[in-house]
Structure 1
């Protein structure tokens, strides 16, 4: 169990470490928001992978982002060693009073130790129950109840040694004004000048997706005067092919696509101004929840308790309510099977209309 840090301890410089995917980074923002609320004069920095930078780069509570480029290793051992040393030196030169390691990698633990921070908080993962992990952290928080908690709640537990209030702390997503202007230009080029819905049916993992035919049927049934439907996706070959196939099946004349044409922050701006977001378990779904855009999220065999959209302005439709699903840990992530197939179109349409007609 983590020992308590005296209430009189007021850090000046704080580092939060999380080395995961885009959606994971967004779900660290409650930690950042709670730290800002408790320590309004502290400098808060984050260490993350370079490709996930857009999720946090506009956050007003963050002073600096330390970046790890996963391409370093492709440029040779010496280049990687040089960059890693440069990173550690930058962290040591920042003189952190507190490092909060939300990651479970050995790399993050070693950086935590090398930071020189007097307070080094991490999680007591069962798989990391060894001398090295304990050596790198001097406050370890139990993970015993992780399976019952949302990822946001898991992350917030790391603040327990600091006795920071975490009730009602939101997930948040920020973007610059020019990102919305860029998204608007894309919309206008496609003839979208009024209210619109954003639908992102794609994921980098096919098993998280609904059938193209059902997405097309949803689009057609949501056809109503003056309401555009905008399809989005990552600029990935498979995702772009999926969008093209869906469009070929649609009869709704008010559907268009700007898939693959937006940066993540431009996509955030697009979602923020939408009347509704419909999507699968993905980073854009978490972005919609963070931006408090009404959200209909379709889930299959993923850990729903941990990854459902955080907040009140959303509706989850789980394939497990319509048929049996394999356990999440048994899924071959490379499979082409779409486990959301049991979800009926009419239920998604009804959920969407419940927001549109409100």
Structure 2
């Protein structure tokens, strides 16, 4: 928004991010078992460099398997593979998990994100949906400029990233072939950020 204001030399009437439809505030998952909800969004359409490792998402989710319903979000073929990988890792550990990849509309995706007590995501479209509804969000950044694309006006978001000399490269795939900005960002850093919410 700042970029648009500066480029066009106009002032926005409101700086709040809003989506043009109302959601039905009815959460059948919570009504069924009373658990909180942990949402995982392992995808990012820009390119693989923005994607945190699927096994890392699963490791974080394992820490919440007794207290939270775990939902996996995604869309498209590439994200289906990521979501399926997380799903199978958790299922092998006998964790109850729902894989909603390619099973929601945009509207139902928004509704599910709203109901998340914690939403863990890469820098992506769903991250910005979470920002619109002020969902508690852990936003994982690697090759992109978090100073420019962070969750807009979401005081409930925590940004997690490393500070490597090669960051931000703004590339779809790692030009150095090591992808350290994501591989060296271990699940413990995400768990630490989540603990700071409480």
TM bucket normalised to smaller: 0.7 to 0.9
Between the two structures, name the one with larger relative contact order (CA 8 Å, sep ≥ 6). Answer: 2
How does 1:218-229 map onto structure 2 within 5 Å? 218-225=60-67, 227-229=68-70
Q: Partners of 2:178 and 2:85 in 1: how far apart?
A: 17
Partners of 2:131 and 2:98 lie apart in 1 by 23
Please report how far the alpha carbon of residue 177 of structure 1 lies from its aligned counterpart in structure 2 after TM superposition: 3.8
| Matching residue within 22, 38, 45 for 1:176 | 22
**1:230 corresponding residue in structure 2:** 71
2:86 aligned with 1:240 = no
Q: Which has the larger radius of gyration?
A: 1
Name the CA shift for 1:333/1:169 in 2 (closer, same or farther; >3 Å). same
Residues 281, 165 of structure 1: alpha-carbon distance in 2 compared, 3 angstrom cutoff: closer
What's 1:325 paired with? 166
Shift of 1:259: 1.4
Unaligned stretches of 5+ residues in structure 2? none
For residue 118 of structure 2, the aligned residue among 257, 276, 281 is 276
1:302 aligned residue: 144
Aligned to 2:159: 316
Q: Does 1:249 align with 2:89?
A: yes
* 1:301, distance to aligned residue in structure 2 (A): 1.1
- Contact in 1 for aligned 2:138/2:158 (Cα 8 Å): yes
Distance 2:94 2:20 in 1: 32
Deviation at 1:307, TM superposition (A): 0.4
Separation of aligned partners in 2, 1:280 and 1:271: 14
Q: 1:333: how far off?
A: 4.5
Whole-angstrom distance in 2 between the partners of 1:232 and 1:169: 27
TM-score when scaled to structure 1? 0.48
Matched residues in 2 for 1:289 and 1:252: separation?
32
- Shift in Å at residue 300 of structure 1? 0.5
Residue segments in structure 1 that go unaligned for 5+ positions in a row: 1-151
CA distance in 2, matches of 1:165, 1:239: 34
CA contact (8 A) 1:317 1:348 kept: yes
Which has the larger helix fraction?
Answer: 1
Per the alignment, in what secondary structure is the counterpart of residue 233 of structure 1?
coil
Q: 1: distance between equivalents of 2:52 and 2:115?
A: 25
- Residue 201 of structure 1: aligned partner: 42
CA RMSD of aligned residues (A): 2.7
Q: Distance in 1 between matches of 2:12 and 2:104?
A: 37
* TM-score, scaled relative to structure 2: 0.82
- Offset at residue 165 of structure 1 (A): 6.5
Name the CA shift for 1:160/1:274 in 2 (closer, same or farther; >3 Å).
same
* Aligned residue pair count: 191
User: What do the CA deviations read for 1:85-123 (whole angstroms, capped 9, x no partner)?
Assistant: xxxxxxxxxxxxxxxxxxxxxxxxxxxxxxxxxxxxxxx
Cα deviation, 1:43-68, whole Å, max 9, x if unaligned, reads: xxxxxxxxxxxxxxxxxxxxxxxxxx
